[in-house]
Amino acid sequence: MQTQRFYTLTASCPDRVGIVARVSNFIAEHGGWILETNLHAEHESKRYFMRIEVKADSLPFLLAEFRERFAPLAREFGMEWKITDSAVKKRVVLMVSKQEHCLYDLLARWQSKELDIEIPCVISNHDTFRGFVEWHGIPFHHVPVTAENKTAAYAEVRRIVDDVRGDCVVLARYMQILSPELCAAYPGRILNIHHSFLPSFVGAKPYHQAFARGVKLIGATCHYVTAELDQGPIIDQDVIRVDHSDGVEDMVRYGKDIEKAVLARGLRYHLEDRVLVHGNKTIVFR
């Protein structure tokens, strides 16, 4: 992990000869010092993906001028692109229900600076963790969700996220289905941890489903949230082996450890601009 300030350029475009050469030359012509490069060609879709870290003080201009100068080249290649500054901390809004393990883990990583982010607030449909969150000096918003008030509740969630200028939202075992409108408002910016190895066992009680099926592996999946339940682009997954002697309670206990690790890892990839979404798939530059 870099300790010095750097810019991260990510881009995807139709694959053709000369992409890397032109981008690298653009950076070199302005004295840019490339710290890390990740490249991938998707043969089936004939699309090219890249992630480049550039030492910030090696360039003679800031991001606004970089964007202005780079735009003609990006248009020439039909790029979807962005560039971010490592000195600007991402603002991560956490959402949680009554399961505490992912919330506790993320707050511990935030407090120790392992995740160098800002957490402007935590939103929950229960008041359970108010004291714990506020003890960390983080504002807590209780937004109850019922069958009757979902439209108003998710409008309030959106108001809060916009008000605190959240860069992304993390569902740290938030056990409600978000409205299609809320999903559409933040495409590629809402991350969820699902307690199964998707696409197996979507929806509620996946450990019960896994136990009934007699599987020998259980897992967890960090994915982007879309309007279709548990079907968004997958960022990271992991598994652990189980056998006939393990009951549902054992699987839940094992699963909590996997969920924490997978969510933290997936969030880190997202924060470091290592995830490029392509349709319902992702390219993850680890």
Q: So which residues are the catalytic ones? A: 230
Residue 208's contacts (CB-CB under 8 Å, 6 or more residues apart) are 248
Dihedral angle sign, alpha carbons of residues 194, 199, 200, 205: positive
40, 275 Cβ separation under 8 angstroms: no
190, 224 Cβ separation under 8 angstroms: yes
Residue 71's contacts (CB-CB under 8 Å, 6 or more residues apart) are none
Distance CA 18, CA 211 (A): 52
Distance CA 202, CA 114 (A): 31
222, 234 Cβ separation under 8 angstroms: yes
Helices (H), the chain: 19-29, 63-77, 101-111, 130-135, 150-163, 180-185, 206-213, 248-271
Helices (H), 46-175: 63-77, 101-111, 130-135, 150-163
Query: CA-based angle 3:4:8, to the nearest 5?
Result: 100
